[in-house]
Amino acid sequence: MNTPHAPQAPYSRRSQEIAPFHVMSLLARANALEQAGHDVIHLEIGEPDFTTAEPIIRAGQAALAAGHTRYTAARGLPALRQAIAGFYGQRYNLDIDPERILVTPGGSGALLLASSLLVDPNKHWLLADPGYPCNRHFLRLVEGAAQLVPVGPDSGYQLTPESIAANWNAASVGALVASPANPTGTTLDAGQLTGLSAALKERSGHLVVDEIYHGLTYGFDAPSVLEVDDEAFVLNSFSKYFGMTGWRLGWLVAPPRAVPELEKLAQNLYISAPSMAQHAALACFEPETIAIFEQRREQFRQRRDYLLPALRELGFRIDVEPQGAFYLYCDVSAFTDDAQAFCAHFLETEHVAFTPGLDFGNYRANQHVRIAYTQDVGRLQEAVKWIGRGLERWGRRAES
Protein backbone atom coordinates (compact mmCIF):
# COMPACT_ATOMS: atom_id res chain seq x y z
CA MET A 1 0.00 0.00 0.00
CA ASN A 2 1.31 3.44 -0.92
CA THR A 3 1.68 5.78 2.00
CA PRO A 4 0.21 9.21 1.16
CA HIS A 5 2.70 12.04 1.23
CA ALA A 6 2.05 15.36 2.85
CA PRO A 7 1.56 18.20 0.34
CA GLN A 8 4.87 19.66 -0.77
CA ALA A 9 5.60 23.11 0.60
CA PRO A 10 5.23 25.79 -2.08
CA TYR A 11 8.28 27.52 -3.47
CA SER A 12 9.07 30.97 -2.11
CA ARG A 13 7.03 33.92 -3.19
CA ARG A 14 10.23 35.80 -4.08
CA SER A 15 11.11 33.07 -6.57
CA GLN A 16 7.69 33.25 -8.17
CA GLU A 17 7.79 37.05 -8.38
CA ILE A 18 11.16 37.21 -10.15
CA ALA A 19 10.39 37.23 -13.87
CA PRO A 20 12.35 35.03 -16.25
CA PHE A 21 15.05 36.55 -18.44
CA HIS A 22 13.05 36.29 -21.68
CA VAL A 23 16.08 36.69 -23.92
CA MET A 24 17.40 33.35 -22.67
CA SER A 25 14.42 31.44 -24.07
CA LEU A 26 14.89 33.33 -27.32
CA LEU A 27 18.56 32.34 -27.31
CA ALA A 28 17.61 28.71 -26.69
CA ARG A 29 15.32 28.77 -29.73
CA ALA A 30 18.02 30.44 -31.83
CA ASN A 31 20.49 27.75 -30.79
CA ALA A 32 17.97 25.04 -31.68
CA LEU A 33 17.58 26.54 -35.14
CA GLU A 34 21.36 26.51 -35.53
CA GLN A 35 21.53 22.87 -34.49
CA ALA A 36 18.90 22.14 -37.15
CA GLY A 37 21.27 23.59 -39.75
CA HIS A 38 20.09 27.18 -40.07
CA ASP A 39 22.43 30.17 -40.18
CA VAL A 40 21.33 32.43 -37.30
CA ILE A 41 22.62 35.97 -36.78
CA HIS A 42 22.78 36.61 -33.03
CA LEU A 43 21.94 40.19 -32.09
CA GLU A 44 20.12 39.29 -28.87
CA ILE A 45 22.75 38.68 -26.18
CA GLY A 46 24.80 41.34 -24.43
CA GLU A 47 28.06 39.48 -24.89
CA PRO A 48 30.93 40.73 -27.07
CA ASP A 49 31.81 38.38 -29.91
CA PHE A 50 35.52 38.72 -29.18
CA THR A 51 37.22 35.96 -27.21
CA THR A 52 39.21 36.81 -24.12
CA ALA A 53 42.38 38.69 -25.05
CA GLU A 54 45.46 36.50 -25.36
CA PRO A 55 47.50 38.16 -22.54
CA ILE A 56 44.65 37.36 -20.12
CA ILE A 57 44.47 33.76 -21.29
CA ARG A 58 48.22 33.39 -20.80
CA ALA A 59 47.97 34.85 -17.30
CA GLY A 60 45.12 32.46 -16.47
CA GLN A 61 47.09 29.47 -17.74
CA ALA A 62 50.10 30.56 -15.69
CA ALA A 63 47.91 30.89 -12.59
CA LEU A 64 46.60 27.36 -13.02
CA ALA A 65 50.10 26.00 -13.59
CA ALA A 66 51.29 27.75 -10.43
CA GLY A 67 48.46 26.23 -8.39
CA HIS A 68 46.52 29.44 -7.74
CA THR A 69 43.27 27.54 -7.30
CA ARG A 70 42.49 28.20 -3.64
CA TYR A 71 40.14 30.71 -2.03
CA THR A 72 41.31 34.29 -1.92
CA ALA A 73 40.37 36.90 0.67
CA ALA A 74 36.69 37.84 0.46
CA ARG A 75 37.57 41.30 -0.83
CA GLY A 76 39.78 39.84 -3.54
CA LEU A 77 43.49 39.61 -4.31
CA PRO A 78 45.31 42.64 -2.91
CA ALA A 79 47.31 42.89 -6.16
CA LEU A 80 44.12 43.02 -8.23
CA ARG A 81 42.51 45.63 -6.00
CA GLN A 82 45.68 47.67 -6.32
CA ALA A 83 45.60 47.29 -10.11
CA ILE A 84 41.96 48.41 -10.25
CA ALA A 85 42.82 51.44 -8.11
CA GLY A 86 45.68 52.22 -10.49
CA PHE A 87 43.27 52.02 -13.42
CA TYR A 88 41.08 54.69 -11.78
CA GLY A 89 44.15 56.86 -11.50
CA GLN A 90 45.14 56.42 -15.15
CA ARG A 91 41.69 56.71 -16.71
CA TYR A 92 39.88 59.12 -14.40
CA ASN A 93 42.72 60.84 -12.50
CA LEU A 94 41.20 59.55 -9.26
CA ASP A 95 43.09 58.47 -6.17
CA ILE A 96 41.02 55.50 -4.97
CA ASP A 97 42.20 53.59 -1.91
CA PRO A 98 42.38 49.86 -2.85
CA GLU A 99 40.80 49.13 0.55
CA ARG A 100 37.54 50.54 -0.83
CA ILE A 101 37.42 47.99 -3.66
CA LEU A 102 35.80 44.56 -3.39
CA VAL A 103 36.35 42.05 -6.19
CA THR A 104 33.14 40.13 -6.88
CA PRO A 105 31.83 37.19 -8.95
CA GLY A 106 30.80 39.28 -11.95
CA GLY A 107 29.04 42.62 -11.85
CA SER A 108 26.08 40.66 -10.49
CA GLY A 109 28.06 39.92 -7.35
CA ALA A 110 28.66 43.63 -6.87
CA LEU A 111 24.93 44.32 -7.27
CA LEU A 112 24.11 41.57 -4.79
CA LEU A 113 26.42 43.14 -2.20
CA ALA A 114 25.09 46.66 -2.75
CA SER A 115 21.43 45.68 -2.61
CA SER A 116 21.99 43.46 0.46
CA LEU A 117 23.73 46.31 2.27
CA LEU A 118 21.47 49.20 1.35
CA VAL A 119 17.92 47.87 1.00
CA ASP A 120 15.74 46.69 3.87
CA PRO A 121 12.52 44.71 3.32
CA ASN A 122 9.78 46.84 1.76
CA LYS A 123 12.20 49.63 0.87
CA HIS A 124 13.11 50.49 -2.70
CA TRP A 125 15.44 52.12 -5.14
CA LEU A 126 14.30 54.24 -8.05
CA LEU A 127 15.26 52.69 -11.39
CA ALA A 128 14.79 53.84 -14.97
CA ASP A 129 12.23 51.98 -17.07
CA PRO A 130 13.59 50.69 -19.48
CA GLY A 131 16.62 49.26 -17.73
CA TYR A 132 18.59 46.09 -17.12
CA PRO A 133 16.11 43.54 -15.69
CA CYS A 134 18.34 41.82 -13.12
CA ASN A 135 18.65 45.09 -11.20
CA ARG A 136 15.03 44.94 -10.07
CA HIS A 137 15.20 41.18 -9.55
CA PHE A 138 18.11 41.48 -7.12
CA LEU A 139 16.12 44.01 -5.13
CA ARG A 140 13.22 41.56 -4.90
CA LEU A 141 15.66 38.87 -3.78
CA VAL A 142 16.59 40.93 -0.70
CA GLU A 143 12.88 41.60 -0.01
CA GLY A 144 13.10 45.14 -1.29
CA ALA A 145 11.67 46.48 -4.52
CA ALA A 146 12.36 48.58 -7.57
CA GLN A 147 10.22 51.61 -8.20
CA LEU A 148 10.34 51.84 -11.98
CA VAL A 149 10.28 55.37 -13.32
CA PRO A 150 9.18 55.63 -16.98
CA VAL A 151 11.85 57.44 -19.00
CA GLY A 152 12.10 58.35 -22.66
CA PRO A 153 14.20 60.14 -25.26
CA ASP A 154 13.63 63.57 -23.67
CA SER A 155 15.84 62.60 -20.70
CA GLY A 156 18.12 60.29 -22.66
CA TYR A 157 16.28 57.38 -21.00
CA GLN A 158 17.90 58.40 -17.71
CA LEU A 159 16.65 59.43 -14.29
CA THR A 160 16.90 63.14 -13.52
CA PRO A 161 16.79 65.18 -10.29
CA GLU A 162 13.23 66.12 -11.27
CA SER A 163 12.11 62.51 -11.70
CA ILE A 164 13.69 61.60 -8.37
CA ALA A 165 11.81 64.45 -6.66
CA ALA A 166 8.54 63.44 -8.32
CA ASN A 167 8.81 59.75 -7.43
CA TRP A 168 10.51 59.79 -4.02
CA ASN A 169 8.39 58.59 -1.10
CA ALA A 170 8.70 57.23 2.44
CA ALA A 171 9.89 53.81 1.18
CA SER A 172 12.64 55.24 -1.05
CA VAL A 173 16.24 54.71 0.08
CA GLY A 174 18.22 55.33 -3.09
CA ALA A 175 18.49 55.23 -6.85
CA LEU A 176 20.39 53.03 -9.26
CA VAL A 177 21.44 54.52 -12.59
CA ALA A 178 23.60 53.14 -15.39
CA SER A 179 26.03 55.00 -17.61
CA PRO A 180 26.29 53.75 -20.30
CA ALA A 181 22.89 52.14 -19.91
CA ASN A 182 21.51 48.82 -21.04
CA PRO A 183 19.40 48.71 -23.26
CA THR A 184 19.70 52.29 -24.54
CA GLY A 185 23.45 52.97 -24.61
CA THR A 186 22.99 56.50 -23.22
CA THR A 187 25.40 58.07 -20.74
CA LEU A 188 25.41 60.62 -17.93
CA ASP A 189 27.82 63.52 -18.03
CA ALA A 190 29.47 65.06 -14.98
CA GLY A 191 26.77 67.70 -14.62
CA GLN A 192 23.99 65.13 -14.70
CA LEU A 193 25.79 62.94 -12.17
CA THR A 194 26.27 65.95 -9.91
CA GLY A 195 22.57 66.75 -10.11
CA LEU A 196 21.58 63.18 -9.26
CA SER A 197 24.03 63.11 -6.37
CA ALA A 198 22.61 66.32 -4.94
CA ALA A 199 19.03 65.08 -5.32
CA LEU A 200 19.84 61.88 -3.44
CA LYS A 201 21.85 63.58 -0.69
CA GLU A 202 19.02 66.05 -0.13
CA ARG A 203 16.84 63.03 0.68
CA SER A 204 19.50 61.06 2.61
CA GLY A 205 19.41 58.46 -0.15
CA HIS A 206 22.17 56.34 -1.65
CA LEU A 207 23.39 56.78 -5.22
CA VAL A 208 24.45 53.54 -6.91
CA VAL A 209 25.94 53.76 -10.41
CA ASP A 210 26.39 50.89 -12.82
CA GLU A 211 29.57 51.67 -14.80
CA ILE A 212 29.81 48.19 -16.31
CA TYR A 213 30.04 49.54 -19.89
CA HIS A 214 32.71 52.12 -19.11
CA GLY A 215 35.43 51.95 -21.74
CA LEU A 216 32.85 51.22 -24.42
CA THR A 217 31.98 54.81 -25.26
CA TYR A 218 32.62 56.32 -28.64
CA GLY A 219 34.51 59.56 -29.16
CA PHE A 220 34.89 60.30 -25.45
CA ASP A 221 35.44 58.67 -22.05
CA ALA A 222 32.44 58.65 -19.74
CA PRO A 223 33.09 60.28 -16.36
CA SER A 224 32.91 58.12 -13.24
CA VAL A 225 30.46 59.23 -10.59
CA LEU A 226 33.41 59.11 -8.18
CA GLU A 227 34.71 62.26 -9.87
CA VAL A 228 31.75 64.19 -8.42
CA ASP A 229 30.57 62.08 -5.46
CA ASP A 230 33.07 60.12 -3.40
CA GLU A 231 30.22 58.61 -1.35
CA ALA A 232 28.54 56.88 -4.29
CA PHE A 233 28.62 53.11 -4.78
CA VAL A 234 30.05 51.99 -8.13
CA LEU A 235 29.39 48.66 -9.83
CA ASN A 236 31.76 47.48 -12.54
CA SER A 237 32.68 44.30 -14.37
CA PHE A 238 35.43 42.61 -16.33
CA SER A 239 32.82 41.27 -18.78
CA LYS A 240 32.30 44.08 -21.28
CA TYR A 241 35.30 46.35 -21.96
CA PHE A 242 37.71 43.71 -20.66
CA GLY A 243 35.94 40.86 -22.51
CA MET A 244 36.00 38.30 -19.68
CA THR A 245 32.32 37.27 -19.63
CA GLY A 246 32.77 33.60 -18.74
CA TRP A 247 35.41 34.29 -16.09
CA ARG A 248 32.71 35.86 -13.86
CA LEU A 249 34.55 38.77 -12.33
CA GLY A 250 33.55 42.28 -11.31
CA TRP A 251 34.11 44.83 -8.58
CA LEU A 252 32.40 47.27 -6.25
CA VAL A 253 33.82 50.59 -5.04
CA ALA A 254 32.24 51.70 -1.76
CA PRO A 255 32.69 54.44 0.84
CA PRO A 256 35.26 53.37 3.45
CA ARG A 257 32.75 53.01 6.28
CA ALA A 258 30.70 50.51 4.23
CA VAL A 259 33.60 48.14 3.52
CA PRO A 260 33.53 46.07 6.76
CA GLU A 261 29.83 45.33 6.32
CA LEU A 262 30.31 44.48 2.64
CA GLU A 263 33.23 42.20 3.46
CA LYS A 264 31.08 40.35 5.99
CA LEU A 265 28.37 39.88 3.36
CA ALA A 266 30.89 38.67 0.79
CA GLN A 267 32.29 36.11 3.24
CA ASN A 268 28.83 34.67 3.73
CA LEU A 269 27.36 34.98 0.25
CA TYR A 270 30.15 33.61 -1.94
CA ILE A 271 33.41 33.38 0.11
CA SER A 272 35.48 34.89 -2.73
CA ALA A 273 35.49 35.55 -6.44
CA PRO A 274 37.13 32.86 -8.62
CA SER A 275 40.84 32.83 -7.82
CA MET A 276 42.04 31.84 -11.32
CA ALA A 277 39.98 34.63 -12.87
CA GLN A 278 41.47 37.16 -10.45
CA HIS A 279 45.02 36.17 -11.32
CA ALA A 280 44.18 36.29 -15.03
CA ALA A 281 42.60 39.73 -14.67
CA LEU A 282 45.88 41.21 -13.51
CA ALA A 283 46.89 41.15 -17.18
CA CYS A 284 43.95 43.41 -18.10
CA PHE A 285 45.85 46.51 -17.06
CA GLU A 286 49.04 45.88 -19.02
CA PRO A 287 49.62 48.32 -21.92
CA GLU A 288 49.51 45.57 -24.58
CA THR A 289 46.14 44.37 -23.27
CA ILE A 290 44.66 47.88 -23.06
CA ALA A 291 45.74 48.36 -26.70
CA ILE A 292 43.67 45.29 -27.66
CA PHE A 293 40.64 46.64 -25.80
CA GLU A 294 40.96 50.00 -27.52
CA GLN A 295 41.11 48.34 -30.95
CA ARG A 296 37.94 46.45 -30.12
CA ARG A 297 36.31 49.64 -28.90
CA GLU A 298 36.95 51.18 -32.32
CA GLN A 299 35.37 48.18 -34.00
CA PHE A 300 32.26 48.59 -31.87
CA ARG A 301 32.10 52.25 -32.92
CA GLN A 302 32.28 51.26 -36.58
CA ARG A 303 29.49 48.76 -36.05
CA ARG A 304 27.28 51.35 -34.37
CA ASP A 305 27.97 53.87 -37.10
CA TYR A 306 26.91 51.36 -39.76
CA LEU A 307 23.89 49.81 -38.05
CA LEU A 308 22.24 52.95 -36.65
CA PRO A 309 21.53 54.67 -39.99
CA ALA A 310 20.82 51.33 -41.71
CA LEU A 311 18.04 50.48 -39.25
CA ARG A 312 16.64 53.99 -39.38
CA GLU A 313 16.43 53.68 -43.15
CA LEU A 314 14.38 50.50 -42.71
CA GLY A 315 11.92 52.40 -40.51
CA PHE A 316 13.17 51.58 -37.02
CA ARG A 317 12.89 54.69 -34.86
CA ILE A 318 15.95 55.39 -32.71
CA ASP A 319 15.42 58.77 -31.12
CA VAL A 320 18.68 59.00 -29.14
CA GLU A 321 22.02 58.01 -30.62
CA PRO A 322 23.70 55.63 -28.18
CA GLN A 323 26.96 56.99 -26.85
CA GLY A 324 28.19 53.71 -25.38
CA ALA A 325 27.66 49.98 -24.76
CA PHE A 326 26.73 47.97 -27.87
CA TYR A 327 22.96 48.24 -28.16
CA LEU A 328 20.35 50.05 -30.19
CA TYR A 329 16.99 50.50 -28.45
CA CYS A 330 14.52 50.71 -31.31
CA ASP A 331 10.94 51.95 -31.37
CA VAL A 332 9.07 49.54 -33.68
CA SER A 333 5.61 51.06 -33.21
CA ALA A 334 5.51 51.83 -36.94
CA PHE A 335 5.34 48.07 -37.48
CA THR A 336 3.71 46.53 -34.40
CA ASP A 337 2.49 46.86 -30.84
CA ASP A 338 3.58 43.29 -30.07
CA ALA A 339 7.36 43.25 -29.88
CA GLN A 340 7.46 39.62 -28.78
CA ALA A 341 5.60 38.45 -31.87
CA PHE A 342 7.78 40.76 -33.96
CA CYS A 343 10.99 39.21 -32.60
CA ALA A 344 9.61 35.69 -33.01
CA HIS A 345 8.77 36.46 -36.65
CA PHE A 346 12.32 37.52 -37.48
CA LEU A 347 13.85 34.59 -35.65
CA GLU A 348 11.62 31.98 -37.28
CA THR A 349 11.47 33.38 -40.81
CA GLU A 350 14.76 35.26 -41.25
CA HIS A 351 16.88 33.68 -38.51
CA VAL A 352 17.88 37.03 -37.05
CA ALA A 353 17.64 37.12 -33.24
CA PHE A 354 17.02 40.30 -31.25
CA THR A 355 15.33 41.02 -27.93
CA PRO A 356 11.80 42.28 -27.19
CA GLY A 357 11.44 45.28 -24.89
CA LEU A 358 9.57 43.20 -22.31
CA ASP A 359 12.88 42.18 -20.76
CA PHE A 360 13.72 45.78 -19.85
CA GLY A 361 10.62 46.99 -18.04
CA ASN A 362 7.02 48.00 -18.60
CA TYR A 363 7.05 51.42 -20.22
CA ARG A 364 6.12 51.02 -23.89
CA ALA A 365 7.87 47.64 -23.77
CA ASN A 366 5.72 46.12 -26.49
CA GLN A 367 6.76 48.86 -28.88
CA HIS A 368 10.51 48.42 -28.51
CA VAL A 369 13.26 45.92 -29.29
CA ARG A 370 16.94 45.86 -28.40
CA ILE A 371 19.44 45.02 -31.10
CA ALA A 372 23.03 44.28 -30.04
CA TYR A 373 25.83 45.09 -32.47
CA THR A 374 28.00 42.24 -31.23
CA GLN A 375 28.79 40.92 -34.73
CA ASP A 376 31.26 42.29 -37.26
CA VAL A 377 30.16 44.79 -39.91
CA GLY A 378 29.94 42.15 -42.62
CA ARG A 379 27.58 40.11 -40.51
CA LEU A 380 25.55 43.20 -39.63
CA GLN A 381 25.17 43.95 -43.34
CA GLU A 382 23.70 40.49 -43.79
CA ALA A 383 21.40 41.08 -40.83
CA VAL A 384 20.10 44.35 -42.31
CA LYS A 385 19.38 42.60 -45.60
CA TRP A 386 17.50 39.80 -43.85
CA ILE A 387 15.60 42.23 -41.61
CA GLY A 388 14.52 44.21 -44.68
CA ARG A 389 13.23 41.02 -46.26
CA GLY A 390 11.47 40.11 -43.02
CA LEU A 391 9.76 43.50 -42.85
CA GLU A 392 8.22 42.87 -46.28
CA ARG A 393 6.89 39.52 -45.08
CA TRP A 394 5.65 41.09 -41.82
CA GLY A 395 3.77 43.72 -43.82
CA ARG A 396 2.14 41.10 -46.02
CA ARG A 397 1.16 39.14 -42.94
CA ALA A 398 -0.43 42.21 -41.39
CA GLU A 399 -2.44 42.85 -44.54
CA SER A 400 -3.75 39.30 -44.82
Q: What is the secondary structure of 27-71 as a DSSP string?
A: HHHHHHHHHTT---EE-SS---SSPPPHHHHHHHHHHHHTT--S-
Between CA 309 and CA 165 the distance in angstroms is: 36
Specify whether the CB–CB gap between 92 and 223 falls below 8 A: yes
CB neighbour list of residue 2: distance below 8 Å, 6 or more residues apart = none
Note if the bond before 4 is cis, omega within 30 degrees. no
User: What is the predicted pLDDT for the residue at 6?
Assistant: 62
Specify whether the CB–CB gap between 344 and 354 falls below 8 A: no
Between CA 46 and CA 240 the distance in angstroms is: 9
User: What is the predicted pLDDT for the residue at 398?
Assistant: 63
Within the chain, what is the greatest distance between any pair of CA atoms?
Answer: 75
**What phi, psi does 18 have (nearest 5°)?**
-90, 115
Round the average pLDDT of the chain to a whole number and report it: 95
For the beta sheet containing 368-372, the strands, ordered from the edge strand earlier in sequence to the opposite edge, are 327-331, 368-372, 355-356
69-285 has which fold?
Aspartate Aminotransferase; domain 2 (3.40.640)
Between CA 392 and CA 295 the distance in angstroms is: 37
User: What is the predicted pLDDT for the residue at 7?
Assistant: 65
Delimiting residues of CATH 3.40.640.10 domain(s) in the chain: 69-285
User: What is the predicted pLDDT for the residue at 195?
Assistant: 98
Delimiting residues of CATH 3.90.1150.10 domain(s) in the chain: 17-51+289-399
User: What is the predicted pLDDT for the residue at 374?
Assistant: 96
pLDDT tens-place string over residues 214-265 = 999 999 999 999 999 999 999 999 999 999 999 999 999 999 999 999 999 9
User: What is the predicted pLDDT for the residue at 18?
Assistant: 85
H or E segment and range at residue 176:
strand 172-178
- Partnered with residue 38 across adjacent β-strands are none
Residue 397 exposed, middle or buried by CB count within 10 Å (0-12, 13-18, 19+): exposed
User: What is the predicted pLDDT for the residue at 333?
Assistant: 97
Considering the domain delimited by 17-51+289-399, tell me its CATH architecture: Alpha-Beta Complex (3.90)
Between CA 95 and CA 88 the distance in angstroms is: 7
> Which segments in the chain show pLDDT lower than 70?
1-7, 9, 398-400
Between CA 327 and CA 322 the distance in angstroms is: 7
pLDDT tens-place string over residues 252-295 = 999 999 999 999 999 999 999 999 999 999 999 999 999 999 99
User: What is the predicted pLDDT for the residue at 10?
Assistant: 84
